Structure 1
Amino acid sequence: MAAVTMYTTAVCPYCQMAKRLLASKGVTAIEEIRVDQDPQVREAMMARTGRRTVPQIYIGEQHVGGFDDLSALDRAGKLDPLLK
């Protein structure tokens, strides 16, 4: 299974939905990087992703985007192959 990294905050409903969707796909380990505890971490996320919002999700080295992007990949049948 591919490694999943997710930039999150403590109170982000979209982060929780993304975790539930990934769990339904059998993803048991997500490296969470909290951006609400250190402004430098958020700046690093913005530099890496070009986006300000969370979640920002990586599967392996591929930037998937946020929850809406993750959900769209799943609906298109493209999420499972990425997770393999």
Structure 2
Amino acid sequence: MPEQIIIYGKEHCPHTRRARDAYPEAEFIDVQASPENMDAMLRLSGGVRRVPVVVKDGVAEVGHNRGA
């Protein structure tokens, strides 16, 4: 079964762009598009307001490769 990857980020953020480039198969969710998207990201990140948040099979990591 393929790994499910979701990236929460901002459309024009360079860190989000690098994560999206690294995982082209990932679903992208723009946190600026709606308050619900931001709320979902904050729940996954433990309240950390930093993008991207990369979720792999339900496990969230703030920052791509822990760099952003």
| TM-score (normalizing by structure 2) | 0.77
Q: How many residues align?
A: 65
Q: What is the CA–CA distance in structure 2 between the aligned matches of 1:40 and 1:19, rounded to whole Å?
A: 21
- Out of 12, 36, 42, the residue aligned to residue 38 of structure 2 is 42
Higher helix fraction (1 or 2): 1
1:53 aligns with 2:54: no
| TM-score (normalizing by structure 1) | 0.65
Q: Percent identical across equivalent pairs? A: 23
The runs of 5 or more residues in structure 2 that have no matched partner are none
Runs of 4+ in 1 over 6 A off after TM superposition: none
Q: What is the CA–CA distance in structure 1 between the aligned matches of 2:27 and 2:41, rounded to whole Å?
A: 14
The runs of 5 or more residues in structure 1 that have no matched partner are 23-27, 72-84
**Greater Rg by CA:** 1
* Preserved CA contact (<8 Å) 2:9 2:51: yes
